[in-house]
Amino acid sequence: LRNNGGGHYNHCLFWLWMSPDGGGTPGGDLEAALVQKYGSFEGFVTAFTEKALGVFGSGWAWVQPNLEIITTANQDSPLLNGGDEPILGLDVWEHAYYLDYKNNRADYVAAWWKVVNWEVVTERYGRLATPVHLGDR
């Protein structure tokens, strides 16, 4: 269940986060929050890229709603062990890039930034970054 369910969940999100019209920067509240946390949007890109390149073997790099960057091994989801639903994630399994980039994960990650669908990421950030308090209803 962990491998198949995690793989399905992770890949469903992965494809949502990409668009041929993607790239650039998110703008708005998300970009402002990233700048506040990482010093600049480029600082965020560098931090995420370093985490993605640092995954040993197969796994994923994720951005949580609080903008923390985490990694998981294999098909593990951030939802395991009480984690949050991610706002962005990158598959760094070799199967994701080998045909185009051979073993050059760095080029794959650099190319991925050009297709990130910031519209979807921004929507998820807006929806997931604000906790829901049941007493507020």
**Domain assignments of the chain as residue spans, ordered by start:** 2-130
The DSSP bridge partners found for residue 62 are 70, 89
Token readout for 6 is 């995690």
Sole residue written with tokens 């910031």: 118
**Cα distances (Å, whole numbers) of residue 122 to 37, 87, 104:** 16, 8, 29
Q: Is the pLDDT assigned to residue 47 strictly greater than 90?
A: yes
Question: Strand, coil or helix: what is 73?
Answer: strand
pLDDT tens, position by position, 95-133:
655 556 667 689 999 999 999 999 999 999 999 987 655
Which CATH superfamily groups domain 2-130? Answer: Iron/manganese superoxide dismutase, C-terminal domain (3.55.40.20)
Q: Is the pLDDT assigned to residue 3 strictly greater than 70?
A: no
